[in-house]
């Protein structure tokens, strides 16, 4: 049994996320965690809400609530939605936790002791209208690289270029919209990432199995232009981890907090500490290589916009500390999911957000479509037509139809227990051989985190059962050879249990329904396909489930299409 640490990108606290955020990190991470658990491995799956920084302050102000109250409420909302999508976190933490405050200040102190933090007096944007310095995310303007008109002061979401507020064309205050901005002197702490460049480059070069998307983004930041730059890690904000604390090796940082991209990744460790404090578990064996974490395989899941911080900034913190912390082994990055010819937009009411999706259909419908269309090699696009076709064909016509046909047939001819008699013939032996090949390929793709290809292989496994049932036609065989029909039916009902086990990482609710219908809790992974198709013996009782997946009607699809179209340009 191997040990696997899995983290997904930490979502900002400022509101409910859309389906693109879900498929870009949390959902594929959950898929992988569920699969590894099913294979018998020990898994620690960690996520949290990212509660510091400008987005939290702005959202709280808009909601008319103190920022700490707002964050507490939204953490509960995001946790509830995550549970609604059946995300199986071992712990869903908060970056505002006491554990993260202690750990963030510890890392800052140790990095400073190793000469990797410097104090910089610089000029920053000051809004005369707002009477305050504006942290980078409080400033928007036009990106000098791609011309995107809503680029933030730290990064352009359109081209992912790292920016400073002074780089923006026509900058404006996000708070007031004022363009009455001027440069004034202020002092901040910088992480000397440039000193870590060679070590980071060697580390990234050693990861020969990483996706091209991950390494290409990391190397672009390392080598393009002037190369890796030192990064400011404090901001003029009230909400966050204080940058001036007892034992801090600097002065003059009162009223400043650590930058959200410094403390947020540290929350992965802190959230595991939160889990340990809650459960009595041992967090160190997951994160300290001197405490057992050398045997852990650590995998991160994230959208491409988060890659620079997890390949460069967070590793700079870990490596620069000189302490025995666990570094990530594999970063699975994703492109963007767009919505019906454009982008998801909260302000324009465009696209389906996570809470809205759960109000329309159960989570398995969304999980299946998103994972089977995951934006791995390129950006993907959600359209209602594609969603309807995928649900109706894959889930209703293939999997749902198989379960319905065989359970109803058996009930009508043999009763609600697996029938006795008969022997397997050439057709059954051929099916077993095909399934053995396909299940091993499914395992390989899941091990390699090839999400879309794994979904395609799983569907092919469902199709194989349908094709067998159609060719064997036990309803016809029953008329002349009831014993042979019984053997075919018994195999097909065992397929229902097998499909539940294999499908659980993708569609956990449907898997639970199938297992309940087969009246079994046997979730044993099919190491031997023949044995897996004999788990449920003759005489074992079952029930005929309700419709596993209902079809989406054209009228529903048209209604949803109109409802979530939003305001067009």
pLDDT digits (tens, 9 = 90+) for 493-515: 999 999 999 999 999 999 999 99
**How sure is the predictor about 568, in pLDDT bands with cuts at 50, 70 and 90?**
low
Locate tokens 């030192």: which residue? 230
Query: Residue 469 pLDDT > 70, yes or no?
Result: yes
* Residue 360 phi, psi dihedral angles, 5° rounding: -95, -45
| Percent above pLDDT 70 for the chain | 99
What is the Rg, in whole angstroms, of the alpha carbon atoms belonging to the chain?
A: 27
Residues 6+ apart with CB under 8 A from 440: none
Low-confidence winner among 76-80, 230-234, 360-364, 403-407 (lowest mean pLDDT) = 230-234
Are 151 and 67 contacting, i.e. CB atoms less than 8 angstroms apart?
no
231-232 and 181-191 beta bridge pairing? antiparallel
The DSSP secondary-structure symbol of 167 reads G
Locate tokens 């020990």: which residue? 42
State yes or no: 346 annotated in a binding site.
yes
Query: Residue 226 pLDDT > 90, yes or no?
Result: no
State yes or no: 47 annotated in a binding site.
no
Mean pLDDT, rounded, for 78-95: 98
SS (H, E, C) 300-319: EEEEHHHHHHHHHHHHHHHH
Are 497 and 410 contacting, i.e. CB atoms less than 8 angstroms apart?
no
Query: Residue 89 pLDDT > 70, yes or no?
Result: yes
pLDDT digits (tens, 9 = 90+) for 102-149: 999 999 999 999 999 999 998 888 999 988 888 787 899 999 999 999
Distance CA 405, CA 111 (A): 64
Query: Residue 195 pLDDT > 60, yes or no?
Result: yes
pLDDT digits (tens, 9 = 90+) for 512-553: 999 999 999 999 999 999 999 999 999 999 999 989 999 999
Q: Report the Cα 329 to chain-centroid distance in Å.
A: 17
H/E stretch holding 402:
helix 401-413
State yes or no: 146 annotated in a binding site.
yes
Q: What is the pLDDT of residue 1?
A: 87
State yes or no: 520 annotated in a binding site.
no
State yes or no: 179 annotated in a binding site.
no
Which residues are bridge partners to 353 per DSSP?
18
**How sure is the predictor about 161, in pLDDT bands with cuts at 50, 70 and 90?**
confident
Distance CA 32, CA 467 (A): 29
Arithmetic mean of pLDDT over the chain: 95
Q: What is the pLDDT of residue 379?
A: 94
Are 465 and 434 contacting, i.e. CB atoms less than 8 angstroms apart?
no
Q: What is the pLDDT of residue 359?
A: 96
**How sure is the predictor about 567, in pLDDT bands with cuts at 50, 70 and 90?**
low
Query: Residue 416 pLDDT > 60, yes or no?
Result: yes
Query: Residue 449 pLDDT > 70, yes or no?
Result: yes
Q: Report the Cα 154 to chain-centroid distance in Å.
A: 23
H/E stretch holding 384:
helix 384-390
H helices present in 174-259, as ranges: 197-205, 212-223
Locate tokens 């009223």: which residue? 255
Structure tokens at 491: 């195999």
Mean pLDDT, rounded, for 306-317: 94
Are 353 and 384 contacting, i.e. CB atoms less than 8 angstroms apart?
no
3-state secondary structure of 178: coil
SS (H, E, C) 63-84: HCCCHHHHHHHHHHHHHHHHHH
- Residue 173: name the closest of 130, 124, 143, 235 by CA: 130
Q: What is the pLDDT of residue 136?
A: 82
- Residue 484: name the closest of 426, 435, 524, 412 by CA: 426
**How sure is the predictor about 243, in pLDDT bands with cuts at 50, 70 and 90?**
very high
What domains sit in the chain, N to C, each tagged with a CATH number? 381-532 (1.10.730.10)
Q: Report the Cα 525 to chain-centroid distance in Å.
A: 24
pLDDT digits (tens, 9 = 90+) for 69-79: 999 999 999 99
pLDDT digits (tens, 9 = 90+) for 369-395: 999 999 999 999 999 999 999 999 999
H/E stretch holding 171:
strand 169-173
Q: What is the pLDDT of residue 178?
A: 94
pLDDT digits (tens, 9 = 90+) for 35-48: 999 999 999 999 99
């Amino acid at each position: 049994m191997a040990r696997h640490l899995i983290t997904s990108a930490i979502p900002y606290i400022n509101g409910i996320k859309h389906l693109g955020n879900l498929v870009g990190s949390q959902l594929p991470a959950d898929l992988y965690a569920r699969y590894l658990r099913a294979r018998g491995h020990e898994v620690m799956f960690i996520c949290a809400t990212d509660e510091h920084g400008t987005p939290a302050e702005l959202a709280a102000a808009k909601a008319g609530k103190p920022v700490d109250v707002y964050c507490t409420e939204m953490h509960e909302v995001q946790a509830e939605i995550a549970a609604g999508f059946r995300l199986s976190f071992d712990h869903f933490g908060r970056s505002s936790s006491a554990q993260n405050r202690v750990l963030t200040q510890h890392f800052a102190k140790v990095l400073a002791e190793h000469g990797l933090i410097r104090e910089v007096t610089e000029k920053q944007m000051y809004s005369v209208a707002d009477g305050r310095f504006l942290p980078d995310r409080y400033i928007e303007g036009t990106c000098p690289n791609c011309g995107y008109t809503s680029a933030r002061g730290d990064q352009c979401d359109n081209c992912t270029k790292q920016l400073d507020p002074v780089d923006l064309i026509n900058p404006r205050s996000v708070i007031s919209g004022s363009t009455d901005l001027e440069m004034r002197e202020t002092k901040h702490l910088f992480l000397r990432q440039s000193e870590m460049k060679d070590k980071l480059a060697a580390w990234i070069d050693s990861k020969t199995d990483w996706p091209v998307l991950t390494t290409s983004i990391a190397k672009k930041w390392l080598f393009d232009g002037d190369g890796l730059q030192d990064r400011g890690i404090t901001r003029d904000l009230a909400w966050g981890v204080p940058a001036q604390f007892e034992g801090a090796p600097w002065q003059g940082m009162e009223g400043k907090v650590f930058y959200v991209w410094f403390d947020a990744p540290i929350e992965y460790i802190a959230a595991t500490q939160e889990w340990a404090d809650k459960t009595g578990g041992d967090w160190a064996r997951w994160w300290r290589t001197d405490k057992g974490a050398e045997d852990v395989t650590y995998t991160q899941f994230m959208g491409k916009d988060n890659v620079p911080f997890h390949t460069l900034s967070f590793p700079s913190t870990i490596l620069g500390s000189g302490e025995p912390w666990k570094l990530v082994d594999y970063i699975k990055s994703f492109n963007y999911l767009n919505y019906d010819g454009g982008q998801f937009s909260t302000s324009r009411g465009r696209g389906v957000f996570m809470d809205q999706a759960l109000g329309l259909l159960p989570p398995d419908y969304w999980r299946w479509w998103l994972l089977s269309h995951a934006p791995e090699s390129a950006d993907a696009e959600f359209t209602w037509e594609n969603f309807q076709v995928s649900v109706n064909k894959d889930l209703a016509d293939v999997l749902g139809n198989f379960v319905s046909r065989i359970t109803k047939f058996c009930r009508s001819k043999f009763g609600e227990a697996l029938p006795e008699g008969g022997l397997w013939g050439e057709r059954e032996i051929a099916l077993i051989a095909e399934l053995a090949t396909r299940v091993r390929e499914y395992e390989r793709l899941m091990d390699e985190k090839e999400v879309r290809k794994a979904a395609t292989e799983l569907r092919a496994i469902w199709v194989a059962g349908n094709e067998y049932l159609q060719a064997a036609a036990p309803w016809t065989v029953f008329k002349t050879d009831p014993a042979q029909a019984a053997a075919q039916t018994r195999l097909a009902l065992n397929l229902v249990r097998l499909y539940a086990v294999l499908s659980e990482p993708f569609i956990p609710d449907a898997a639970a329904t199938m297992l309940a219908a087969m009246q079994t809790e046997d979730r044993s992974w099919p190491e031997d396909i023949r044995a897996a198709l004999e788990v449920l013996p003759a005489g074992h009782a079952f029930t005929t489930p309700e419709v596993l997946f209902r079809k989406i009607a054209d009228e529903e699809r048209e209604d949803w299409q109109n409802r979530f179209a939003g305001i067009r340009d």
